[in-house]
Amino acid sequence: MSSFNVSTVLIVASILFVLGLIGVLTRKNIIFMLISVEIMLNAAGLAFVAAGAKWQQPDGQVMFLFILAMAAAEVSVALAMVLQIYHQHKTMDVEELKELKD
């Protein structure tokens, strides 16, 4: 069984989380914002798995399963909302939706 460096995995998870955060903050399309949130959730899951492997505990894997279930529920609800928004406003741009609010 190959071993891995936990700090390297945590650095990769941090990079993925930052990339997801940048995507959420800079993108204007709702779909890309959802994808960025998914990247952030997977980065957190990767960090949990790495931490669980470091301390030889299954807690990290359990938390990753919880994150996967939460992400699946989040995506299903969010995609339903995106479809409804697109059906009503014919746009996916967040800035245009903010203008409709005013």
pLDDT digits (tens, 9 = 90+) for 3-30: 778 899 999 999 999 999 999 999 999 9
Q: How far apart are CA 73 and CA 42, in angstroms?
A: 14
* pLDDT score of 44 more than 80: yes
Q: What is the pTM of this model?
A: 0.83
Cβ pair 79, 34 in contact under 8 A: yes
The residue with tokens 């807690």 is 59
